[in-house]
Amino acid sequence: MRLFKCKWTHSIIEITAQRHQRMNDIFHDQDTCLDIYAPLDADISDESRPTAKTGVALGILNLCSGSGIKIIDKREEMSNSDVPFLYYVGKARRRKFHAGIHRNAAYSDWKELGVVAEDGIFNLFYTQSDRAYSGEMMVGDSALYKLNLEFSTLYAGHRINAKPVAPNKIEMVIVESSDDLHSNNFSHEQFIMFD
Q: What is the pLDDT of residues 89-117, one digit of tens each?
A: 999 999 999 999 999 898 888 999 999 99
Give the separation between CA 29 and CA 86, rounded to whole angstroms. Answer: 48
The third-level CATH classification (topology) of the domain covering 79-193 is Substrate Binding Domain Of DNAk; Chain A, domain 1 (2.60.34)
The Cα-based distances of 190 to 54, 156, 173, 174 in angstroms read: 40, 17, 7, 9
pLDDT above 70 coverage of the chain, percent: 62
Best CA proximity match to 13, nearest among 32, 54, 47, 41: 41
pLDDT of residue 181: 75
Give the separation between CA 74 and CA 109, rounded to whole angstroms. Answer: 15
Q: Is the pLDDT confidence value at 152 over 60?
A: yes
Higher pLDDT, 140 or 18: 140
Q: What is the rounded average pLDDT of the residues 167-178? A: 88
Domain boundaries, the chain: 1-41, 79-193
Q: Which of 68-77, 79-88, 177-186 has the lowest mean pLDDT?
A: 68-77
Which residue type is seen at 35?
A: D
Model confidence band, residue 1 (pLDDT cutoffs 50, 70, 90): very low
